[in-house]
Amino acid sequence: MRPYRRLTPLLALLLIALGAVPAAHAAPDTGTGQGSVTAAYIRGATPGAGVELLDANERIVGRGSVDRLGSFLVRDLRPGDGYRFRVEGVRGNSFRVLDGTAPPQSQYDEQRLQPGMNYVRMRDGITLAAFVRLPFGKTLADGPFPTVVEYSGYQTAAPNPLVLGAATGLLKARDPLAPANGLVLGAELAPDIGFASVSVQMRGSGCSGGAYDLFDYPTVYDGYDIVETVAAQPWVAGHKVGLVGISYSGISQIAVAGTEPPSLAAIAPMSLTEDLHSTGFPGGIFNTGFADTWLTERQADATPGPDGGQPYVRQLIQRGDQECAANQSLRLQTPSLRQLVADNPERNPEVFDHRSPSTWAPKVRVPVLLTGALQDEQVGPQWTRIIDRFDANPDVWVRMINGAHFDSLGPQILSQWWEFLNIFVAERVPPPSPALEALSTVMYAAITRSPAVRVDSTRLAGSPSVSAAKAAFANSPRVEVFYDNGAGAAGAGGLAAPWSLGLDGWPSSRIVPTTWHLGAGGALSTEPGAVESISFRPDPAARPAGTLDVVGPSDIPWQPIPPYNWTPLPGDAGIGFTSPVLDHDVVTAGPASLDLQLSSTAPVTDLQATVTEVRPDGRETYVASGYLRSSYRAVDANATELQPIRSYRNPADLSPGFNGARISIDPMAHAFRAGSRIRVTLTAPGGDRTSWRFDTPATNGLVVDTIQLGAGGSALVLPVISGAVAGAPLPACDGLRGQPCRAYAPAFNGG
């Protein structure tokens, strides 16, 4: 008799329970795969399952495990068809990895945005949160409106009024549903002065979908899609939009404009960096202050809500916003941002090039109003290196000012911002704006606690036509430098510069590189002295790490006279060199270089050069600093007298004897007055900046650095404007914005 080949259901269950028959595993959920720009992601897969990404040739190009939210993401892929995910051996749907080619216009035309919160679909299926604000007191029936977009990863698309959030913030109980203060241009000023504004949350942050990627290609091309979707709205005047914003939303504008969205009218970036590496690794030294803090905060913002992420995300999910909740599904695929940056001190171009505004700037074809501060405590003053990257674009205007990060939004610049947006975005003669003049005064008081001169919105109001207004604006200098901000009519430390100079470009043809030789006794001379050397012991612990107890975003550096603790050089931890009393004004504008002949008892030494003005009253004003890890001392073929450009790709220890080592000093715009002296100091990094800190190894005073002086030795090269004189008397030492003041104390070597 043949045995039974089939078990009864009851017997089968019994044998399974006893372990005699293996239980069948449920087939894994393969989820849905989707291609992004140079990336691919899967959502809805079985958590914990093994997953592989196959290309069209069945090669495995990514593998890992599905996260607890059912997602997995692979970056840095070659665009093309035929990709698919395989989950526990089960193949999923086929899809295409995208390149920068624009999707059909229907992608944009079919989406309709309304006042309030919207979710805008990107080309890869991800939706971004975008909050639409119409001009104050208007409805859609009153349109169309000139429109601007602010695109950022801060708390951008939060729905409540920013002004309310700022007011409650002063009471230490900031409204969790208000945008961040850094969004003041788009979330507050623009709608109050007659523009519709769309505040767009970058992918991987806030209520937007996707994984945060630190300016990677998906985020860049999201910007293109946002511009085109907003411009397609029936309530947008001329179906053209502008980009506005300061800091984060200033940086993002360059790459978005570089993708050349056809509906972009103009951009107005403020307080940006030209390269993430220059902020993250000044002189090749990791910035453990603002840069590291900023990365840490972005990582926290990218954690999934409602348990993590930004405050408004938690609030909206708890109130039932299902799309915001669903958009958290890829958050666990955010890479370690700090590791991404910190692991690349040698500026790996595959990591930094496409993430840096300077790469995209030559592709920008629309009008640009670029503004920034020259003692920027957050992104740094080196942003000016991007200016000549716009040389092929005739419609670029640059406004720079001494001061802190916020000062690019000062009243003398904001008045030109108003003109620029009206001419190039609204395409109208800039009308007088009492609202702008009144609101900006309140804004300056609330955010900086500083007095300010009134914004002038009337300068071009009498132009007979838009073309006449445009011609008047275009005839202004390509580069305008505002000097002595803090010493103007607003009062000590107020937002006002008493004078400015116009330049034809950056670098300007008016700039004459002027050499000052480092000499014996701490002398700084236009003629070299006798050949000799001086040694010192660079010690990062010899002074406080910074001039303020601030490393992250803070409004303390924006106060009229911040509580600086700017200490002098102690003992033999630094050396100084001071010029004779000047018999004429020395007006500077541009980067500088400290060219050293250097030897050290260590194979690698970290150095900081700081330029100051020693005044006739015996006090000293900070001007600019520069940094160098000696292993990155090699410069490339693009280096100039004033700009020791380096690639960071071939680090090398110091050789025995003296080595050439040029420290790039941050761009400056400062007038050294007749009767003052020019000073340069050389120390370990630290002690002269408010928010930057440096990953400099402790030396305990045991490292000895030596520089050669005199003919063939070390020299400071300054960017002097030929024939220029200061446009105002020597200001008070206290109150120059971004420029601490202290009593002058000579270094141990006399300078």
- The amino acid present at 496, given as its one-letter code, is A
The mean per-residue pLDDT over the stretch 15-26 comes to 41
- The amino acid present at 413, given as its one-letter code, is I
Three-state DSSP at 238 gives strand
Cα gap 85→92, rounded to integer Å: 5
Lookup result for tokens 């501060």: 373
Residues 434-472: tens digit of each pLDDT: 999 999 999 999 899 999 999 999 999 999 999 999 999
Whether the predicted pLDDT of 32 surpasses 80: yes
Of 431, 486, 481, which Cα lies nearest the Cα of 459? 431
Q: What is the pTM of this model?
A: 0.94
Find out whether 641 and 629 touch, Cβ atoms under 8 Å: no
The per-residue pLDDT for 173 is 62
The per-residue pLDDT for 21 is 37
Of 647, 695, 605, 661, which Cα lies nearest the Cα of 347? 647
Residues 594-634: tens digit of each pLDDT: 999 999 999 999 999 999 999 999 999 999 999 999 999 99
Find out whether 364 and 258 touch, Cβ atoms under 8 Å: yes
Residues 549-598: tens digit of each pLDDT: 999 889 999 999 999 999 999 999 999 999 999 999 999 999 999 999 99
Residue 172 — very low, low, confident or very high, per pLDDT cuts 50/70/90? low
Structure tokens given for 649: 């790709």
Cα gap 12→678, rounded to integer Å: 92
Cα gap 683→108, rounded to integer Å: 55
Whether the predicted pLDDT of 8 surpasses 70: no
Whether the predicted pLDDT of 12 surpasses 70: no
Write down the mean pLDDT value for the chain.
Answer: 94
Structure tokens given for 18: 């006893």
Q: Per mean pLDDT, which range of 162-176, 319-333, 675-689 is the poorest?
A: 162-176
Residue 14 — very low, low, confident or very high, per pLDDT cuts 50/70/90? very low
* Phi-psi sector, 491: left (phi>0), alpha (psi -120 to 50), beta: left
Lookup result for tokens 């507050």: 188
Residues 662-695: tens digit of each pLDDT: 999 999 999 999 999 999 999 999 999 999 999 9
Whether the predicted pLDDT of 4 surpasses 80: no
Whether the predicted pLDDT of 1 surpasses 80: no
Distances in whole angstroms, Cα of residue 414 to Cα of each of 398, 439, 443, 639: 13, 12, 12, 34
Whether the predicted pLDDT of 533 surpasses 70: yes
Residues 327-357: tens digit of each pLDDT: 999 999 999 998 888 888 999 999 999 999 9
Three-state DSSP at 198 gives strand
The per-residue pLDDT for 525 is 97
DSSP string, 652-685: -PPPSS-EEEEEEEEEE--EE-TT-EEEEEEESS
Structure tokens given for 310: 């930004």
Find out whether 519 and 577 touch, Cβ atoms under 8 Å: yes
Which of the 8 DSSP states describes residue 637?
T
Whether the predicted pLDDT of 52 surpasses 50: yes
Find out whether 123 and 38 touch, Cβ atoms under 8 Å: no
Residues 107-129: tens digit of each pLDDT: 999 999 999 999 999 999 999 99
Residue 25 — very low, low, confident or very high, per pLDDT cuts 50/70/90? low
Strand (E) or helix (H) holding 216? none
Residue 169 — very low, low, confident or very high, per pLDDT cuts 50/70/90? very low
